[in-house]
Amino acid sequence: MNEERKKDELNRLAYETANQHWLHAENIRWTILSNFLTGNSIFILTWAAMLSSSIDGKKFLLGLTALAGLILSFIWIAIEVRSSIFVNQYFLLGKHLEGKLSIKKIGAFNRSIALRIAQNNPPEKDIPVVEPKITYDELQKTENVIEQLFAPIPTYKVVIIIPAVFIAVYIALFIYSVFII
């Protein structure tokens, strides 16, 4: 019995550690996006300031600034993809460890899945629901459709969509800088 308690304690500690790493990786992902937006604000303001100025080689500098922003956006997508891989790995590890705990409630990792299921299948308007009515066994069946449950827009998509939008903006700025001015 003592051996089982030690194993349960180790599982609990590993679970807590995975939970902390998951949250930290998620915070890092948002920090990376914030830094990206700050850098792009500087590039776009620089481009706008040069557009309104009358400096020599303006067309070249505008095109170069747009090109630099375009390259930065592609690099940022690669960084965000890598960051999302870490977040997903910690999520899957935590979900696995959560299944090994001797608890009667659904833990943080499976609760997040349950909340997404509840969002996609809202209860009747007159019935107040405090927490989703889903069992651990039902959660196990949802593993193959987990990406469909991240509603409305999952973080991993947001951190890729935003740099992709900036790619389109920088392509438009480059075309305007080189061919229209």
- Look at residues 94, 132, 137 and name the one whose alpha carbon lies nearest to residue 116: 132
- Look at residues 142, 34, 15, 123 and name the one whose alpha carbon lies nearest to residue 83: 34
**Residues 19-48 as b or e (16 or more Cβ within 10 Å = b):** bebbeebbeebeebbeebeebbeebbeebe
Could you tell me which residue, 142 or 101, shows the higher pLDDT?
101
Share of the chain above pLDDT 90, in %: 43
Task: Inform me whether the pLDDT recorded for 153 exceeds 80.
Answer: no
Which pLDDT score, from 0 to 100, does residue 16 have? Answer: 86
Amino acid present at 92: L
Q: Which 3 state secondary structure label does DSSP give 60? A: helix
Task: Inform me whether the pLDDT recorded for 134 exceeds 90.
Answer: no
pLDDT-based confidence at 162, cuts 50/70/90? very high
Joined tokens for residue 138? 């039902």
Amino acid present at 4: E
- Look at residues 31, 13, 35 and name the one whose alpha carbon lies nearest to residue 23: 31
The pTM of this model reads: 0.69
Instruction: Quote the strand ranges of the chain, DSSP E.
Output: none
